[in-house]
Structures are given as structure tokens and as C-alpha cells.
Amino acid sequence: MSYPNEKSEEEWRAILTPEQFRVIRQKGTEAPGTGTYNKHYPSSGTYACLACSAPLYTASQKFDSRCGWPAYFESIPGAVKRFEDTSLGMLRTEIVCAGCGGHLGHVFKGEGFGGAKDERHCVNSVSLKFSPDDEAGAKEAEKK
């Protein structure tokens, strides 16, 4: 599959840390409860792809699922692509950045968390970077 922000593996290695490369390019997973954005709940702002800066989620789409990773009800329309993942011997839905193909995490349906689609986008913090909407939002995010 082709992506607008495509790079060679060597180019990705040059701009990502080893942990970022492991998760984003090699479909790894960060340990639960360890990510920067797991318990990060600003009132406004945008979570973007760490690798290519494409906007993925808004602060209003985020919720506390208590799963150990940042969780979102839905993504910004068109921001993520979905693929079947059978790597653990079960069927899951992998989500990747539509801008660069970087691994974000997985989507789980029907868990009763709410949202229009009853989905939980379970995303690795290491795949994200947060930008507050304004200076007040930046100060609020720093406190949390």
C-alpha cells in the first residue's frame, strides 16, 4: 500500500528513536500503563501521528477505558486505515496512520464504552504527539 508520507526503513530509523521505530514501523506495543498519553485528558487539542504529524484524534474523542493505553471513541474522519490482524492467533483490527502507514494500535467494537460506533481505538502513546489548541490548553495539559 502507498502512503502520502512514505519513507524508506533507513529514513524512518534516522528520524525515530529505537522504541518509536519498534512500535510505529514494526507493529510493536508499548507496555500497558506506561505511555505519556494514557492518563492525559486536556479539554482541547489534537493528537497527531508522531512520525508524520498527520492529525489523528481530538481531545474530545479521548476517554478513560482503563485499558492501559490511550483510548478514543473514533478518529478524525479519514485519518486512520484499518486492516485485519491475525498475528496473535485471533482476529483483531489494526489501525495505522493514513498519512504514513505507521502502526497506531487496534480498534475493538461492542465493549459498551459509548460513542456513535461503540468502538475503542486503543493507541500506543509512542505513536502520538499532542498539540494544544491554544496557550491556555497548553498550560492545562502540562498540569495533568
- Which residues, in sequence order, are bridge partners of residue 107? 93, 121
List Cβ<8 Å contacts ≥24 apart for 57-61. Answer: 57/121, 57/123, 57/128
As a whole-number percent, the residues of the chain with pLDDT over 90 amount to 79
Quick check: is 122 catalytic?
Answer: yes
Residue 141: is its pLDDT beyond 70?
no
Mean pLDDT computed over 81-110: 94
Strands of the sheet with 55-58, listed across from one edge:
55-58, 46-49, 128-131
What's the pLDDT tens digit per position in 53-83? 999 999 999 999 999 999 999 999 999 999 9
Among the options 49, 52, 97, 122, which is catalytic? 122
pTM of the predicted structure, to 2 decimals: 0.89
pLDDT category at 100 given cuts 50, 70, 90 is very high
CATH number for region 9-143? 2.170.150.20
Residue keyed to cell 502520538: 128
Q: Please tell me the predicted confidence (pLDDT) of residue 136.
A: 47
Distance of alpha carbon 143 from the chain centroid: 22
